[in-house]
Structures are given as C-alpha cells and as structure tokens.
Chains A and B, each alone.
Chain A
Amino acid sequence: MSTLRIKGGKVYDPANGINGQIADVCIVDGKIVADAPGATQIDATGMVVFPGGVDVHTHVAGGAINFARAMTPEDHRRTQAFIRSQSRRSGLGGFAPTTFATGYLYAGMGWTTVNEAAVPVLSARHTHEELSDIPILDKSCLVLMANNEIVLDLIEAGEYERAKDIVAWYVSAAKAYGVKAVNPGGVAAWKWGGDAKQLSSPIAGYHKLTPGDIVGQLAQICDELKLPHPMHLHCNDLGAPGNVATTLETMKHLEGRRAHIAHMQYHAYGGDDWDTMCSASDQLAEYFNAHDNMTTDAGAVLFGDTVTITADGPWQHLLYKLTGRKWGNLDVENETGCGIVPYTYKPNNLVNSVQWAVGLELLLMIDDPWRVFLTTDHPNGACFWRYPEIIHLLMSADFRNECMKILPTKIKGRIKLPELTREYSLYEIATIISAGPARALGLHQKGNLGVGRDGDVIVYEPSNDIAYMFGHPRYVIKAGEIVIDDGDIRATPEGHEYIIQPHYDPSTDDFLRPLFEDCYTMSFENYPVEMERIENPHVQDCTQ
C-alpha cells in the first residue's frame, strides 16, 4: 500500500473552495484520503499545492500530429533530446514532441490529464496505440463527427433519432470520450473545393443542409446521450478577419444546449480583411459571460515557431497560400480531412500581434474562471510546454505592458489588452488549468483534492519568476506516486484512458453495415477498436 503525505503546503483547491489554506494532502493507493498516519512525507512548508493540470484541448496523438512530426525534421534537429535512461525512453521535444517525450514534458510542468481533441474514427486505433505510449498522463480523446457523411446525410434527411444512434455507435466504436465538431460542413464542402462560412447557407454537395443544422443537432445529440463532456466545437470560419459574426451566430444556435467552444481566440476577430483585422474579443466575452451553457478554452498564441495542425483542411490551404511554406492536406475517406502547415508567429506582424492579444483578452475578459481554460490548441498557437509563459502574462499586468512594447505601432486601437488591468490570482490559475477543465470534461476524479479523488498533485516552490515557478514544479505526484522531483523524472507509470460507451439501438449495426460496404475501404468488422486494444481503460459513466 503506497501512502504519501504532502505536509504543510499552501493548498489551492478551487473545487472545494480552498484558497491558500495551510493543509496536509494525504494519498493512499492513488486516492486522496483525509489522513494517512505513518505515511511517507514530503515537506511542502512554504510551497504551493495545486491539483494536477488538465488540458481540455490538445493534439498529442494520431494521424495529424504524426504527419506534423514527419513534416518538421528541421525542428527535430535543433530541439531538446531525451536520451534513453533506466527510467525513460528516448524521444524529442519541439513543436510536435514524440509520444514518450509528450508524457515527460507535460508531467514535467505538472499536467497529469490531457484530452486529445480531434480523432477521425478511422484513425482511432492508431491514436489509442500512441496514447498508450504517452507515459504518466491519463488521457481521453474526442471523435470528429461534423463532417461525417453518413451523419450529415441523416441530418439532412431529418432522421434525427437514427443520427443519434449512429453518433453513439461511432463514439463506442472509436473508444472515445466525446464528440468533436470541426468547421461543421466546411471540411465536407472542401472536398468540392468549397468551405462553409455562413451558418445558414446550404453546404456544397448537399441540398439544404446548413452548418447551423449540424451545430444545433450534434449539440442536442451529445446532450441527449448524456455525454460527460458536451459537444466540443471548432466553429466555422476559423482564423478569418470578421469571423466574430459567425461565432456569435454559432453561439445563438447553441442556446438551450451545452457546448464547449474550442480555441476561441481563433474565432474572435473583427475587421474586413487582413489589413483591417482587429480584436473582437469584447463582443464574444460579453455574450459568453451572459450565457452559462458554454465553456471555452483560449487557444492562446505565443510568438515563435510552431506547426499548425487541424482537421480544417480549407483553412490550412489558405494558410499555406498566405505563408508559401510547405503544407500537407489529407482526406480521411468520408469522415473528415486534415491539414498541416509549419508557421511562425511574429511580433512585428500585425495579424499575429492581434492574435497574441486576443488569446489573453479572452482569458482576462471572461469573468468566470470555471468556464475559460488555459490552452494554446497545442501545437497551433504555441507548444503546450510554453503554458507557464501564459500564466506569467495572466498574473502580471506589468509584464503584459512590457511585452506590448514590441508590438507594431499600428496595433493601437485594434486590441483591448492595454485597457485590461486584471491579474489572475493563484486560486484562479488553479481553476483555469485544473479544476475548471476537469469539470468541463466531466472528469470528477480530476482537478480536485477532495477525499476519494485521484491523487494527482503539483507542488510549486514560490518564485518571483512566475514562468519559472510554473515551468519547474518542485514535485509532481501522479496517483500518489512522485513522478517529478526537482526536474528529475523519478517514475513513469502508465496512465488510464477515459472512454464512454453511450447506448445505441441494437439495429444500428445492421443499418451501418451496408453503408460501410459502400463507402469505406475498411471492412465493417475491422472498424471498431476492441476494448483489449486500450491500455488501462476506465469507462466513465454517461447515464446520469
């Protein structure tokens, strides 16, 4: 029986309203307990104790990130190398870290749970194989549904109940944790050379189906299936100047339903073109603050090199046209697509500067830290291992002002950031990196230091250098085991995978089989991922 007592730290546990009280945190057999006499002790006197970090939206496994790895050898040559040792496997950091390195880097800054946000059902098997190679972390993944032609055909034909069964079948077959919608209808339209930017215009290739129909009905399906995490939505018209109108319209379609709006930064722009692009974060924040059916994550941008990857093929083609750099695009049969473009965010570029500001503005202007979470849409806005830099920006208005000095002078009047004086407290940081995303994901055992919850804990040594403090925790504890001790990887236990098995009508198999024979290159029997392929599966209840 493993027991651990983290003694005398200042505990920040927003899920239980604990704000900096001195307390002991005790863990027995991986779970938090009220007391553990005779336990191994960690002296956390003067230190700060957080629940383990939870990433609500990241891209760490599967076809797209693997494509990005293959496309960026120039980054592999210069990046941090993990040399094989007794306790760890070899690997590379950088924009698109290799699987084992992903686990080491996330755990190294205290994150112990991640949600891979975009998995085509067709590559689910591959994704699970990679997820099982990411050590230390607990994982979950979401399957892409908003451009699946079988689902779209059913929605167009008005067969809502059947569509619901199919979605439940797909989530079960993929051993996923929820539903992701990327540019609803837009990726399907891209296969006709088009895109879908207006919520009420019919999608290319369909007679009357609109993105609005898909958004509303998929959200409804997720609610009726009682999924622990609502529909996870990448809105239409990502990245384009003036797209705030589309985003607001999308939010209106979602009224009365739950939803998580992914990487809102990319959907919060005003202006008419690249020259007039400006921040419209105030409009989004105002609407969002007044409607508590939604959660969101920032998708913040930091200046520097990265690689952008998304299922949003048409956007990636545009980004390639803008940058002239190498690019990749994939067609995933009748399910979705994918695009990869390496990208450099430059502070002297007006558009990039606006993006940088918008991510921070949303985090600062959305009042409730339980509804907005820290992400960079890794690796799209920046790599996940740069989260501590964003925490620094959120906690210090002076530092933000310092950083704004390098922005182009033309930025004046285009962003709201200079007017914002809010500074995050440690309690709020613990909310946006852990308690909030855990709650939004419906992972009640995470982001919470209450009795019976998972013993995932970060212990920080307080420092005036905020980015250093959050980048170099003194201890990271996963399920009661010390995995990081002063920068050293002490242990690399395997994580769990959270999956759900929503109910569907038993006739769904017979309905899908002939469609499969018709549409897919893979046979129906080979398509679902067997439960035995999942390492340490943890089936989360979805009936409440």
Chain B
Amino acid sequence: MIILNLKRQPTVPLEAEVISPDTVRGLKHAEICELPVYHGKRRLRLDEFFDVHGDGADEVRIRGDLNKVRWIGRGMSSGSIQIDGNVGMHLGSGMTGGAIEVHGDAGDWVGAEMKNGLIRISGNVGGQIGGGYRGSLSGMRNGTILIGGTAGLEVGLRMRRGTIVVGGRVRDFAGLQMKGGTIVLLSGAEIRTGAWMNRGTILSLQPLALMPTFAPSGRCDPAFLRVFASYLNRLGIQIPTDGGFYERFVGDRSLPGMGEICVWQSAQ
C-alpha cells in the first residue's frame, strides 16, 4: 500500500493524474516522490505536496483536504484508491476498472466518461457526475457511481450505460440527454429531470416535478427491478420492490425520446 498525506495546500488547482494505481504500481518510493504534478502551469514533484509512505502497490490511500487536487485516478484500470477527506474535480475520469472510495465530498465530473469500475463517495458531490465532457457524444459507458450525499447539476449527463445512485437531493437536469443506463434518486431531484433523455431509466423514490414532455404510461413493475435491487443490495443500498408500485413516465417526448422515469408510490 502507498499512503499520501497532503502536507502543503495548493494555492491553485493541482493536476495530479499520476495518483493512480496504474502509474504507481511497481514504482519504488523515490520514483513515486518525483512523479510530475502540475500546480497551475508549473510542473513540480509529487512530494512537494505530499508526504509519501511506502512503495508502489495496487492500493493507494490519500489523506487531507484535497479540494484543489484534480484528476485523481484518471483512466485507472484496476486497483483501489481510498481518500480520507474532500477531493477536487474529475475524480476517476475515464476510469476503466478498479475502485475509488471517498470519505468526504467530491467536486464536479466524478467518473466522467468512465468505462467501468466503482466509485463510492460518502459525502456530497458537484455536477456532471458520470457525464460526458463538453462536445462528447456520450458520458459514462459502464460502471457504478454511488453517492451518499447530495449531487449538483446534470447528473449522468449523456450517460450511455452504467448506474448512478444518489442518496441525497439532486439538483436540476438529472439525466440530461441520457442515452442509456440507470440513475437512482433515493431522495428525489429538483426540476427538469430527464430533459432531452433519449433512452435509459431514472428511478426516483420520492415524487418528482416532471416536465410536460413526459407522458404517463401507467403503473409498472420493471422486469429488471428485482435483479437490479439485489445488485444494489450487495453494495449496501436498498430500493423497494414490494409494498407499492412505480408510476412510469416516458420521454423526453420533445425529441421524441423513449427514456423512462419511474416514481415509487408506496401502497398506503
């Protein structure tokens, strides 16, 4: 295991995509210390900002307030990163495998354009979780993102596959231009959920203010729900399958899209 303790707070964003099991695996302590990071436009050594303990391994642990540290775990393919503290933008962007766990909050673009793997964040996150970067045709293509707290704008922006679960309240435009995959809103969302969605599923356990371009299509008991619920159960998340029903809406009909928003109604 390699442990990084933040010793100096960056004054401007620190781009640290080298903090990834793929990069440090097999490196000696000294080699890790001299990995390059970009403090604004200046290229510096990793150990200018972090106390580095241990040699390269599949497991990376980071401690400190990493609010300004960006691109951690970028494109990682395996191994794990554990972060104790808050972390900055683009965490796990484009990752293809492995796991990232954050005990704290995270910034925007968590798991943006990721292809596989698991990201779990206990606190709140910013916007564009699992989203596609500006100009891209699609966001995350697979994998799972679990958020304990709240999330910002455009969650799952243009996502194509995979799962996003948000425990707290989600802001506007969840599932914007969604093309596939599943978003689970345990505490509902603010306005314009599913705007421009083409395919995919948004499950909400709380009532939603829906746009007029979503057409009611009756009660449903999605066939995939029990399998999906047992998958989430293994990850420690419960969604109801019995004792009520899902009210289904189809949209966004302004496209016209064939996505679905399913809102849980308990029986009593």
Interface segment out of the listed B1-9, B47-55, B99-107, B128-136: B128-136
Shortest Cβ distance from residue B239 to the other chain A in the assembled complex, whole angstroms: 33
Within 8 A of A (CB), among B175-199: none
CA distance A168 to B138 in the complex (A): 48
CA distance A326 to B137 in the complex (A): 9
Binary per-residue interface labels of chain B (104-139) against chain A in the complex, 1 for a CB within 8 Å, 0 otherwise: 000000000000000000000000000001111100
Chain B: how many interface residues by the 8 Å CB criterion? 5
CA distance A325 to B138 in the complex (A): 12
- CB contacts (< 8 Å) of A72 on chain B: these are 135
- CB contacts (< 8 Å) of A77 on chain B: these are 133
Q: Could you tell me if B135 and A73 are in contact, using CB atoms closer than 8 angstroms?
A: yes
- CB contacts (< 8 Å) of B136 on chain A: these are 74
> Interface residues of A: mostly helix, strand, loop or mixed?
helix
- CB contacts (< 8 Å) of A73 on chain B: these are 133-135
Within 8 A of B (CB), among A311-326: 325-326
- CB contacts (< 8 Å) of B137 on chain A: these are 74, 325
- CB contacts (< 8 Å) of B135 on chain A: these are 71-75, 326
- CB contacts (< 8 Å) of A75 on chain B: these are 135
Shortest Cβ distance from residue A70 to the other chain B in the assembled complex, whole angstroms: 9
Binary per-residue interface labels of chain A (58-83) against chain B in the complex, 1 for a CB within 8 Å, 0 otherwise: 00000000000001111101000000
Chain A: how many interface residues by the 8 Å CB criterion? 8
The closest CB in chain B to the CB of A70 belongs to: B135
CA distance A74 to B136 in the complex (A): 5
- CB contacts (< 8 Å) of B134 on chain A: these are 73-74
CA distance A73 to B137 in the complex (A): 11
Shortest Cβ distance from residue A49 to the other chain B in the assembled complex, whole angstroms: 42
The closest CB in chain A to the CB of B138 belongs to: A74
Shortest Cβ distance from residue B42 to the other chain A in the assembled complex, whole angstroms: 16
CA distance A72 to B135 in the complex (A): 6
CA distance A75 to B133 in the complex (A): 11
Shortest Cβ distance from residue B132 to the other chain A in the assembled complex, whole angstroms: 8
Shortest Cβ distance from residue B38 to the other chain A in the assembled complex, whole angstroms: 14
CA distance A72 to B134 in the complex (A): 9
The closest CB in chain A to the CB of B198 belongs to: A324
Taking each of A71, A74, A75, A326, which has the highest tally of chain B beta carbons within 10 Å of its own beta carbon? A74
The closest CB in chain A to the CB of B132 belongs to: A74
The closest CB in chain B to the CB of A77 belongs to: B133
Taking each of B133, B135, B136, B137, which has the highest tally of chain A beta carbons within 10 Å of its own beta carbon? B135
Shortest Cβ distance from residue B176 to the other chain A in the assembled complex, whole angstroms: 14
Shortest Cβ distance from residue A79 to the other chain B in the assembled complex, whole angstroms: 12
Shortest Cβ distance from residue A90 to the other chain B in the assembled complex, whole angstroms: 12
The closest CB in chain B to the CB of A325 belongs to: B137
- CB contacts (< 8 Å) of A74 on chain B: these are 133-137
CA distance A73 to B134 in the complex (A): 7
Taking each of A71, A73, A325, which has the highest tally of chain B beta carbons within 10 Å of its own beta carbon? A73
The closest CB in chain A to the CB of B134 belongs to: A73
- CB contacts (< 8 Å) of A71 on chain B: these are 135
Within 8 A of A (CB), among B118-176: 133-137
Shortest Cβ distance from residue A523 to the other chain B in the assembled complex, whole angstroms: 37
CA distance A410 to B103 in the complex (A): 56
CA distance A79 to B142 in the complex (A): 24
Shortest Cβ distance from residue A103 to the other chain B in the assembled complex, whole angstroms: 25
Within 8 A of B (CB), among A129-154: none
The closest CB in chain A to the CB of B255 belongs to: A324
Shortest Cβ distance from residue B70 to the other chain A in the assembled complex, whole angstroms: 15
Within 8 A of B (CB), among A38-96: 71-75, 77
CA distance A239 to B131 in the complex (A): 34
Within 8 A of B (CB), among A282-313: none
CA distance A326 to B132 in the complex (A): 14
CA distance A325 to B137 in the complex (A): 8
- CB contacts (< 8 Å) of A326 on chain B: these are 135
CA distance A72 to B133 in the complex (A): 11
The closest CB in chain B to the CB of A344 belongs to: B137
Shortest Cβ distance from residue A328 to the other chain B in the assembled complex, whole angstroms: 12
Shortest Cβ distance from residue B76 to the other chain A in the assembled complex, whole angstroms: 18
CA distance A298 to B133 in the complex (A): 35
Within 8 A of B (CB), among A323-345: 325-326
Shortest Cβ distance from residue A40 to the other chain B in the assembled complex, whole angstroms: 39
Shortest Cβ distance from residue A192 to the other chain B in the assembled complex, whole angstroms: 26
CA distance A326 to B135 in the complex (A): 9
CA distance A531 to B239 in the complex (A): 72
CA distance A489 to B63 in the complex (A): 46
The closest CB in chain B to the CB of A71 belongs to: B135
Shortest Cβ distance from residue A271 to the other chain B in the assembled complex, whole angstroms: 29
Residue pairs across A and B with Cβ atoms less than 8 A apart, 14 shown, are: A71-B135, A72-B135, A73-B133, A73-B134, A73-B135, A74-B133, A74-B134, A74-B135, A74-B136, A74-B137, A75-B135, A77-B133, A325-B137, A326-B135
* Extra contacts besides A71-B135, A73-B133 (5): CB < 8 Å: A72-B135, A73-B135, A74-B137, A77-B133, A326-B135
Which 7 A/B pairs are nearest by Cβ-Cβ distance?
A74-B135, A73-B135, A74-B136, A73-B134, A72-B135, A74-B133, A77-B133
